[in-house]
Amino acid sequence: MYSDAIKRGSMVYLDADVVVLERLDALMQPSGITACNDDLSGCSFVIDKSRPWPGNPSLQRDLYVNSGVLGLADDTREFLDVARD
C-alpha cells in the first residue's frame, strides 16, 4: 500500500481510528520517515518493555514507533519498495 501511494509523492498515513485534533504539518518533513514515538505503555501484554519480543529475547528495543501515524517523504520510495519486496 505504501509503495503504491508514495508514487504520487510525499504522504501522511493515519490508521482509521486516529482522531486528528491539530495540524499534521510536523509529519511532513522534506525527507525520510516521521513517526510518533511510542513507549509501549498502552501494551499491558508486553512484560519487558526493553525486550518486547519473547520469541527472541536477544532483540532489544531502542526506539519503538506507532506505525498508525506516519509521514513518508518522497525520498522514501526506494526504501518502501525494498521493504515491500
**Residue 32 backbone zone (phi > 0: left; psi -120 to 50: alpha; other: beta):** left
Q: What is the rounded distance in angstroms from the CA atom of residue 75 to the CA atom of residue 30?
A: 8
C-alpha cell at 18: 486516529
DSSP for 36-50, written as a single string: EE--STT-TT-S-TT
Tens digits of per-residue pLDDT, 7-60? 999 999 999 999 999 999 999 999 999 998 888 888 899 888 888 888 998 988
Nearest to 73 by CA among 9, 23, 7: 9
Give the tens place of pLDDT for each residue, 37-49: 888 888 899 888 8
Predicted TM-score (pTM) of this structure: 0.74
